[in-house]
A = this chain, B = another copy of it.
Amino acid sequence: MTTGSTNSVSTAAGQPAETDEVKGRLGVRAGTEVTLSIDAMGGDRGPATIVAGIARSAAKNPAVKFILHGNGPLLEKLVARRRSLRGRVIIRSVPGIVTMDEKPSQAMRRADTSMRSAIDAVKDGEAQACVSCGNTGALMATSMIRLRKLEGVNRPAIACLWPSRNAQGFNVMLDVGADIRADAQDLLQYAMMGASYARNGLGLEVPRVGLLNVGTEEHKGRAELKAANDLIANGETLGKYTYVGFVEGGHIPGNVVDVIVTDGFTGNVALKTGEGTAKLVGDLLKEAFKATPLSRVAALLALTSLKRLQKRIDPRRVNGGVFLGLRGTVVKSHGSADATGVSAAVKLAYELAASGFSERLAARVASAVASTQNDGTS
């Protein structure tokens, strides 16, 4: 997620964001104290990387504290080495670890895991948000049974930020992998929740919402997309967004839309394809600069500009999928995140917690549900 972003976000004066005024990118009041609950055992790189990541965040932000869940003695040792974490970490020793390829239905039944313990700290109000680099399916399944869904939400979604040509530098896309299915009603809810996230997270008063399809013509696509097209168009006033209609894959990094709505299968493939493509181009660029002595000199000269570009498109800096539609905030970091990536996910979780986004989203969904029940529209 846009952590070290230098993009200024224009927020009209006095513009209300759900129920509160926007303060900065995520409406955060500087110094708001937040405790984050961290699953220290999830991810491909192990607890040392996760502790390194939270230490980095702690050094930058004196208002954040942590509860770490996992192998107690190991975590004690890792935390003791980090000066920035001194006095700011509670360690909760839990023996179980959810593996990256474990079935969600199995993982969610285990009571002794670091993942479940991390989610429960949010459930019990000890922490304001949870961060995990672990198994996505297991994290979603466990979050659903422990935190429960917001009333009126059928399928929660994972929303990610995507580098784009927009003024704010990022689009929101959802669902990127919570559920491989989504019917028309789910897609409408994604539009509502995504618009709320864009309003609070990117400071856009009336976000532009688009529905991902294989063409922009109305007759294209699967049946559920045609039905969703009508529902989302009718939901404009209620959801406080502008509906631009169908969009294509090429629009995701573009500037015609702020919120891209799709099912979790398509969204996940698009996200990973985009990341893979950006990485390929970046790798080829590095090779191009090593190709000749002249190009090596050029690389030195352009270093500052290239570093700025790298920062702009670095997938580690847009790390963190937010679970939308639950009674609590859960941020899913990439399984392969390094310390920079973990720190980006922690920063996002801090901002979401400090801005009270979870409560605002709940209020928005509740008002949509009430309105639907009152006037019979959907």
Contacts and interface: CB of A to CB of B under 8 A. Distances in A.
A250 B276 contact: yes
Interface of A is mostly: helix
Count of identical protomers in the assembly: 2
A300 B298 CA distance: 8
A302 B306 contact: no
A270 B262 CA distance: 13
Contact of A212 (B254, B269, B278, B289): B269
A28 interface: no
A214 B297 CA distance: 42
Given A269-B269, A276-B249, A298 B302 contact: yes
A294 interface: yes
Contacts of A137: 215, 220
A10 interface: no
Contacts of A215: 137
Interface string A180-212: 110000000000000000000000000000001
B273 A273 contact: yes
A219 B103 contact: yes
Interface of A: 101, 103, 137, 163-165, 177, 180-181, 212, 214-215, 217, 219-222, 248-254, 262, 264-266, 268-285, 288-289, 291-292, 294-295, 297-302, 304-306, 308-309, 312-313
Contacts of A283: 165
Given A214-B180, A254-B276, A282-B281, A269 B249 contact: yes
A291 to B, nearest CB: 5
Pick the 7 closest A-B CB pairs, nearest first.
A249-B272, A298-B302, A298-B301, A249-B273, A250-B276, A253-B280, A288-B305
Contacts of A212: 269
B252 A276 contact: yes
Given A248-B272, A289-B302, 7 more contacts: A165-B283, A214-B269, A249-B274, A252-B277, A269-B269, A295-B305, A297-B301
A99 to B, nearest CB: 11
Contact of A264 (B101, B214, B264, B289): B214
Given A214-B264, A221-B180, A271 B249 contact: yes
Contact of A269 (B180, B270, B291): B270
Contacts of A279: 250, 253
Contact of A214 (B248, B265, B282, B300): B265
